[in-house]
Amino acid sequence: MTNYKVISKQILFNSSLKDNFSPQERSPQAWTVILGFVLLTIVCYFAGAAAMLRLVFPLTALVVALFLYLRHPILYIGFTWWIWFLTPLAARLVDYRVGWDPTRQMLIAPYLVVLVTIITFFRHLPGAYRQGGLPFILGFVGVFYGFLVGLIYNSPIPVARGLLDWLSPIIFGFHLFVNWRDYPSYRQHIQRVFVWCVLITGAYGIYQFVVAPEWDKYWLIESKLYSSSGNPVPFGMRVWSTLHSVGPFGAVMQTGLLLLLTSSGKLIFPASSVGYLSFLLAQARTNWGGWLLGVIMIMGSAKAKVQMRLITIILVMAMCVVPLITIEPISKVVTSRLETFSNLQEDGSFKDRSGSYDRNLGLALSNGWGNGLGNIWKVNEKTGQIEVFVIDSGILDMFFTLGWFGAIFYMGALILMIFSVSNYSEARFDSFLSTSRAIAISGCTQLIIGSGMLSVAGMILWGFFAMAMAGHKYHQHQQNSKF
């Protein structure tokens, strides 16, 4: 056992050395392409061609993603996350400049960027089972079944839109998993991306709450999400920062703040300060609970020395954030939201979700074949636009969409991953693996009250399950190669 620990620590040290000198992240060619994409977007926006961005932005993002995927795969991962983080803000800026787009056309960009990994999926599918990729195969089978049923019962466009929602997280996660040999580089790059994400989106979230920028107010008014996102006035909005709404922001910030606990560097404390404050201002109770569960899981798998370090970090973060939340009107917003935990029975959101389960659980479980992908996307007869019907439960959504047949495969994949990653002993010395496991499992628990397997939350769920599995496979390979 002692030799195993020594070898493991040496592996981790060697991995860190490799990470710090990753040539891919310093590639001038790759950064020239990325900066060119950013510059093109800025020029179009300020040169009177903002309306063109609804088509140009997704297409150029796809081109850049394909280039990075083929030539600079590590930077492709970072580019993908940033497209998820920033595209909603870009779409709001365009809407504010040229008028509301009810089709939300620009928001297709992240899905197109992820769709590139379908190449990885089909290339490695024949050997996926032998490599340990059974969960991804099961998830794909469940979604493909829902796709076939959707073609029978629903219109083609909503079915295609639903396919992107359900399939993107699976193929992206599979891409991360099969590249387990590059786990150290992927690990460091993802940590760096989320540190910057917490800093930037956290700072913008505070700005959004205090100032209420015109483009964010415009989006809130046009989307009519007053009940879930607050009022379009300063100090009246729930924070969703650069993301599409409060839920996705809560999922991203929950993930980033958990990763910060096991990261290091000069940006950790400023990122944590703005991150925790904006996270509280989002008033996302589900994600607050997910963060707490994640912390407990990380602490439970860490050694005593690491536990003391985590406790110290949390205390320092509390010392930084608590004085800020005592300032009015921030104090009133956060305190009133925290008080709802003591009286959930009277909370409107809790009543709505409970009522949804009471009305729909029996109906969902009796739906053997399912309604297929695209069933939550309906055409508004008055406007002719496709609108989404939100189901505040991932469990209900699975059974309504995939039926018993598809849901068994999809839920089987999630359950298999939970049991697999829970038994990884490497979590005791690889803090990133431990955190990835905590992020993924806490995301699964939130499926009870939200469709966290879709969109950016789904990317996080499947992506961090995949990173934990990749880390386990990498460490096993390194250990076996020593003997």
SS (H, E, C) 108-155: HHHHHHHHCCHHHHHHHHHHHHHHCCHHHHHHHHHHHHHHHHHHHHCC
d(CA 360, CA 365): 9
Residue at 318 is within a domain: yes
pLDDT of residue 21: 41
Residues 88 and 233 in one domain: no
Residue at 121 is within a domain: no
Residue at 4 is within a domain: no
261 token code pair = 């606990």
**What pTM, to 2 d.p., does this model score?**
0.89
Residues 168 and 241 in one domain: yes
**Which of 116, 150, 176 is a domain's end point?**
116
Could you tell me what percent of the chain has a pLDDT over 70?
85
Q: Quick check: 184 pLDDT over 90? A: yes
Residues 100 and 246 in one domain: no
Residue at 173 is within a domain: yes
**Which of 89, 116, 143 is a domain's end point?**
116
Burial 363-394 (b: 16+ CB within 10 A, else e): ebeebeebbbbbbbbeeeeeeeebeeeebbbb
211: Cβ contacts below 8 Å, ≥ 6 apart: 234
- Range of 68's domain? 27-116
Residue at 123 is within a domain: no
- How many distinct structural domains can be found in the chain? 2
More confident of the two residues 361 and 75: 75
Residues 308 and 456 in one domain: yes
Residues 153 and 110 in one domain: no
Residues 101 and 163 in one domain: no
d(CA 224, CA 221): 5
pLDDT of residue 417: 97
Residue at 14 is within a domain: no
Count CA within 13 A, CB hemisphere, residue 162. Answer: 34
Residues 242 and 107 in one domain: no
pLDDT of residue 377: 55
Residues 240 and 348 in one domain: yes
153 token code pair = 């019962």
Residues 89 and 146 in one domain: no
d(CA 463, CA 274): 25
Q: Quick check: 285 pLDDT over 50? A: yes
Q: Quick check: 91 pLDDT over 70? A: yes
Tallying the residues shown for the chain, one arrives at: 483
Residue at 127 is within a domain: no
Burial 91-130 (b: 16+ CB within 10 A, else e): bbbbbbebeebeebebbbbbbbbbbbbeebbeebeeebee
In contact, 422 and 76? CB cutoff 8 Å: no
pLDDT tens figures, 113-131: 999 999 999 999 998 999 8
pLDDT of residue 168: 97
Bond preceding residue 329 cis, omega within 30 of 0: yes
pLDDT tens figures, 139-166: 999 999 999 999 998 888 889 999 999 9
Least confident of 145-159, 324-338, 431-445: 324-338
Count CA within 13 A, CB hemisphere, residue 464. Answer: 33
Q: Average pLDDT of 197-215?
A: 96
pLDDT of residue 10: 40
Residues 252 and 311 in one domain: yes
Q: Average pLDDT of 185-207?
A: 96
Residues 339 and 468 in one domain: yes
Q: At what angle do helices 28-46 and 53-71 cross, to 10 degrees?
A: 180
**Which of 68, 92, 116 is a domain's end point?**
116
d(CA 380, CA 346): 33
Radius of gyration of the chain (CA): 22
Burial 136-160 (b: 16+ CB within 10 A, else e): bbbbbbbbbbbbebbbeebeeebbb
Residue at 9 is within a domain: no
